[in-house]
Amino acid sequence: MSRDSVDVLVLGASGPIGLALGRRANMHGLTVFATGRRGPNAVDATDSVALAQVMRATTPRAVVNLVNPADAGDSGLASVIARTVAESAGQGRVGRLVFFSWAAVYGDEGVRPYIESDQLRGASTYARGKILSEEALMRTAA
């Protein structure tokens, strides 16, 4: 793969959202490097060295993070991804980070649309993992 060949690096691309995102991006002429836990582009997102190697090798214009720390059973994963992507962005290698979260981070009892400033109080393991990711990204961005 050439140094400037990737428009979008998708982390955690093996699920339905990642697969649909890759298809849609390709339809619009974007080059996508899709990673997952298994497959030809497998990368261990808990390994900051491996993740940094993928970032350097693909030099993406944008990174889409679909990985959830709860899926990996690792609360430190959010910090690894946030730090590695932020370092690459700071070195001018990534222009944009898109982080997919989930409405359940605001709890399950909502009856109105949520806004960004609402309190995070997810109850499920998945929602708590997304909250950890959001908090790590905010710390890294600060």
Q: How far, in Å, are 82, 85, 99, 138 from residue 78 at the CA level?
A: 6, 11, 11, 11
Q: How confident is the model at residue 2 (pLDDT cuts 50, 70, 90)?
A: very low
User: Rounded to the nearest 5°, which phi and psi values hold at 37?
Assistant: -75, -25
The pTM for the full model equals: 0.77
Q: How confident is the model at residue 32 (pLDDT cuts 50, 70, 90)?
A: very high
Task: Answer yes or no: is pLDDT of 45 > 80.
Answer: no
Quick one: pLDDT at residue 39?
82
Quick one: pLDDT at residue 29?
94
What is the rounded average pLDDT of the residues 53-70? 82
